[in-house]
Amino acid sequence: MRRSARPLAALLAAFALTAGLFTAGSPAAARSGEAATAAEASDVSTPADTYTWKNVRIDGGGFVPGIVFNRSEKDLAYARTDIGGAYRWNEAGKEWTPLLDWIDWDRWGWTGVVSLASDTVDPDKVYAAVGTYTNSWDPTNGAVLRSSDRGVSWQATTLPFKLGGNMPGRGMGERLAVDPNKNSVLYLGAPSGHGLWRSTDSGVTWSKVTAFPNPGNYAQDPTDTSGYANDNQGVVWVTFDERSGSAGSATQDIYVGVADKENTVYRSTDGGATWSRIAGQPTGYLAHKGVLDSATGHLHLTLSDTGGPYDGAKGRIARYDTATGEWKDTSPTAEADTYSGFSGLSVDRQRPGTLMATAYSSWWPDTQIFRSTDSGETWTRGWKYTSYPDRSFRYTQDVSSVPWLSWGANPSPPEVTPKLGWMTEALEIDPFDSDRMMYGTGATIYGTENLRTWDSGGRITITPMVKGLEETAVNDLASPPSGAPLLSALGDIGGFRHTDLDAVPPLMFTSPNLSSTTSLDFAEAAPATVVRVGNADAAPHIGFSTDNGANWFQASQPSGVTGGGTVAAAADGSGFVWSPDGTGVHHTTGYGSSWTTSTGIPAGATVESDRVNPKKFYGYKAGTFYVSQDGGATFTARASSGLPQEGNVRFKAVPGVEGDVWLAGGTASGTYGLWRSTDSGATFRRIEGVEQADAVGFGKAAPGASYRTIFVGAKIGGVRGIFRSTNGGAEWRRINDDAHQWGWTGASITGDPRVYGRVYVSTNGRGIQYGESSDGGGTDPGPGPDPDPPGDAGCSVAYKITSQWSGGFQADVTLTNTGSAALDGWQLRWHFPDGQKVGQMWNAAHRQSGPEVTAENVSWNGKVAAGASVSFGFTGSWSGRNTAPAAFASGGETCTIRG
């Protein structure tokens, strides 16, 4: 997934960029894997089955560096994450709605959101600056996404440089801002020395502001050679003084923050034509935030000696009087006593002079929140020491809705659990409600709705305000045949035993506490036995459970282990094979009281177990498949021809069938695909028609089927998506749609062995997605003969284009039975006047010949009572025009068209 960064010099010479609409489901071309000598035939069918998709609830789990309230409409707010997209607040449900799940595999970097801007003039408009890494790790350039319907649909302008939603300095901002007087004008601060950019057509095209004098010069670690820590963090925030403009006329006074410790704030007083460094500004620090209180004329800065979000040992808060030009240090702590930087910053738009700030990098004993009601002249704080180590608090904290935020900790004073948080770079007071405040942490969003109680000496109540925002990175998934339906291995917060997919788990895995779980497995015939491995600051890196993951105990580990790697459990739980980072493959009997080096298999191999034979284990590395017949003591190289030599390769054995193994993986520039072995890896056959595949898993067999349902994350028929087969891989159907793509989903996939059709999908920042089928089982039988219409048949049709973009569109169709008899099977035919092509259709099967389209019922919606309706939808492509069909026919009858 990595490639060299594109050269930028030529692109930067062209200031104006053309806008392109992001068309979901149209991935860039990639070379499919080489065909194996022995290939299985496959009937590839890409139309999507009808699936409903939801998150397995965890609530949060990652860094929220930005929260943005719209200043002209109450209750309109957005949140951005560093790798998991953007969200809009839903006040009715007190929850967040994801907005970027449509981002596809090839543009996975756009799930990192470096900045958000909500239009004050037109609250329907929202903008997002996206891109995850500025170095070669991200294959695509950054983009500015624009929406005129609050994030329901988006258009994109790709930039001639990359953006860093998951780079150092990502908590500074906001880098993207809309002129509050003339909303066609936007500014974007760029990293990597690319300076300040401006759009004058509502984000459609962008040009570099050549008059802006300073692109920044601060890097977290200039000696780093990876392109990560040595990247110039650039221009980091833009703030308008709305008093210097009027409705329809551009704001004249604009303030810009730069990652430069000696020159961190610039100003324009002529609408961006010229810029100058503000004299007298504080030096030696970076301004993380710049917020202007228009009621007082004060520009407030929070400053740190580093760019964050993890580091920062010194910091200040400063105030600039825009009328007099006077600077004042308004820090709540003497510089000599400061041990962290300041970042989170907000002013109360209802109460001039009231502001709040955070000590974002105060990790111990907790972060700190400060509040002032006199423009920073004096401050009160969220907690303070009474007699060390005792503290007094201006808040109570209730995490009962997300109980794992206690982290299972039992700290000694002055630490407490739960904590206010860490990496607290986002804090916002609701501009319409002085009692509501939200702030982001490295794990969640917290907030309060009785904030003014603080000023009268009372305690505010802080609770998670994160429902709907799911930001975990998923490394592995397992669905046992009994016990909890799902066990997860997650980055940063370890993982969970999910007994209820729609409820927040009480606590992550503990004993040991792993910062990231990299692999887990259960014994197929004894699913109460579970093993997990992962990364931690110190040993052990492995834990066992004998009650299906409810409770855990630590084990010993081989010498030299530095990280989790992969692990496999024998089918009966009698032994385990572990391939950790830092040393070679090892095996044990019992629960890891001692480990013995496995022979015949290289260090770093991926390991799995046979799901029937407890003595049989498998391994894979660099194009060679390995098999052990003695519990992992010795391995023998088996297949090595035609399998991928590089890339992420994952494989799994089929439950209930010894020696049945499926392998997925490879690279777009080499061998890439899906293979199956039925002889324990002695030979593999390529599954023809599967161009690319990255993860494979198994679920309950379809009704009447003898083989497990197979799920893959793959590219089939030129379409990248989540596919399933209910007949052993002979046929495939896509089960996600273009609105549910979630960027990169290549780490893990598994079906549920107890619920037909249910599948669990890993994402890298959008948590665990699970899909439920409504098709009633079985494979698509293909189009059949027209159903016989009843003698008194009648029909009406409503055809509506619900969204349209350059070259693509989505439409909903409702067919109503206006006759007096019920329909038992139906078809609907129409002619596309402009040659449009149906791409994917849901709730109906379809076929198309030229402009003629026939849609027909699927198994669950063929019966339509008199007066009842049936609905289906599809995505399609168009060129030139997209005129709606002029006529529809069903059962030999011409249907009435309804508006």
Phi, psi of 105 (to 5 degrees): -55, -45
pLDDT at position 36: 28
Residue 490 has pLDDT above 60, yes or no: yes
> With bands split at pLDDT 50, 70 and 90, how would you rate the model's confidence at 18?
very low
Provide mean pLDDT across the span 841-857: 87
The pLDDT of residue 780 is above 50? no
Q: ∠ CA(294), CA(298), CA(301), 5° rounding?
A: 115
Using alpha carbons, select from 326, 322, 320 the residue that is nearest to residue 301.
320
Q: CA dihedral in degrees (131, 135, 140, 141; nearest 10)?
A: 60
Lowest-confidence pick of 7-11, 135-139, 321-325, 884-888: 7-11
Token couple for 587: 């095996």
Residue with the larger pLDDT of the pair 22 and 489: 489
pLDDT at 712 over 80: yes
Q: Does the pLDDT of residue 366 top 70, yes or no?
A: yes
Residue 92: is its pLDDT beyond 90? Answer: yes
State the pLDDT confidence band at 190, using cuts at 50, 70 and 90. very high
CA distance 246 to 790: 66
Helix (H) or strand (E) holding 418: none
What DSSP designation does 442 have?
S
Q: Which two tokens stand for residue 448?
A: 């309060």
For residue 682, name the pLDDT band (cuts at 50, 70, 90): very high
pLDDT tens for 45-56 read 455 578 999 999
Q: How confident is the model at residue 20 (pLDDT cuts 50, 70, 90)?
A: very low
Q: pLDDT for 396-432, tens place per residue? A: 999 999 999 999 999 999 999 999 999 999 999 999 9
| Cβ contacts of 849 within 8 Å, gap of 6 or more | none
Please list the alpha-helical segments (H only) found in 727-788. none
Q: Which two tokens stand for residue 141?
A: 């350039």
Q: Are strands 685-687 and 39-40 parallel, antiparallel or unpaired?
A: parallel
pLDDT given for residue 805 in this prediction: 74
The stretch 212-221 carries a mean pLDDT of 98
Residues composing the chain: 899
> What's the mean pLDDT in 529-535?
98
Computed over every residue of the chain, the mean pLDDT equals 91
Mean local confidence (pLDDT), 803-817: 87
Distance of alpha carbon 494 from alpha carbon 474, whole angstroms: 10
Reply yes or no on whether the pLDDT at 596 is more than 60.
yes
User: For 356-385, what is the mean pLDDT?
Assistant: 98
Query: Is residue 437 scored above 60 in pLDDT?
Result: yes
Q: Cα 160 from chain centroid? A: 23
**Do residues 710 and 652 touch, judged by C-beta distance below 8 A?**
no
Q: Is the pLDDT of residue 195 over 80?
A: yes
**Residue-level pLDDT at 804:** 85
Give residue-wise pLDDT tens across range 607-636. Answer: 999 999 999 999 999 999 999 999 999 999
Q: What is the pLDDT of residue 820?
A: 86
Please tell me the distance from the alpha carbon of residue 458 to that of residue 438, in angstroms, as a whole number. 18
pLDDT of residue 47: 55
Q: Please, are residues 632 and 626 in contact by the beta-carbon 8 Å criterion?
A: no
Of 394, 393, 400, the C-alpha closest to 415 is 393
The percentage of the chain sitting over the pLDDT mark of 70, rounded to a whole number, equals 92
Tens digit of pLDDT for each residue in 29-47? 222 222 222 333 444 445 5
Least confident of 149-153, 400-404, 715-719, 779-783: 779-783
Calculate what percentage of the chain has a pLDDT beyond 90: 84
Mean per-residue pLDDT, 856-875 = 87
Q: Which residues of 632-653 are buried (b: 16+ CB within 10 A; e: fewer)?
A: bbebeebbeebbbeebebbbbb
Q: Does pLDDT of 807 surpass 90? A: no
Which range is most confident: 360-369, 824-833, 834-843?
360-369
Whether the bond between 326 and the residue before it is cis, its omega within 30 degrees of 0, is no
Stretch (H or E) spanning 383: strand 383-385
Q: Put the strands of the sheet holding 207-208 in their side by side order.
A: 176-178, 186-189, 196-199, 207-208
Q: What average pLDDT does range 435-455 have in this prediction?
A: 98
**Residue 808, pLDDT score:** 83
Catalytic residue ranges:
82, 492
Q: Which pLDDT belongs to residue 34?
A: 26
CA R_g for the chain: 29
Q: What pLDDT was estimated at residue 880? A: 86
Residue 758 has, within 13 A of its CA and on its CB side, a CA count of: 16
Residue closest to 616 by CA, chosen among 696, 682, 698? 682
> Using CA atoms, how far apart are residues 569 and 331, in angstroms rounded to an integer?
56
How do residues 287-343 score in pLDDT, each as one tens digit? 999 999 999 999 999 999 999 999 999 999 999 999 999 999 999 999 999 999 999
Q: Tell whether the model's pLDDT for residue 642 goes beyond 50.
A: yes
Is 843 a residue whose pLDDT tops 90?
no
pLDDT at 793: 61
Three-class DSSP category at 406: helix
Neighbours of 173 (CB within 10 A): 28
CB 530 within 8 A of CB 521: yes
Do β-strands 265-268 and 276-277 pair in parallel, antiparallel, or remain unpaired?
A: antiparallel
Cα 178–Cα 255–Cα 220 angle in degrees, nearest 5: 100
Range from 18-27, 122-131, 617-626 carrying the lowest mean pLDDT: 18-27
177-186, 290-299, 878-887 — which is least confidently predicted?
Answer: 878-887
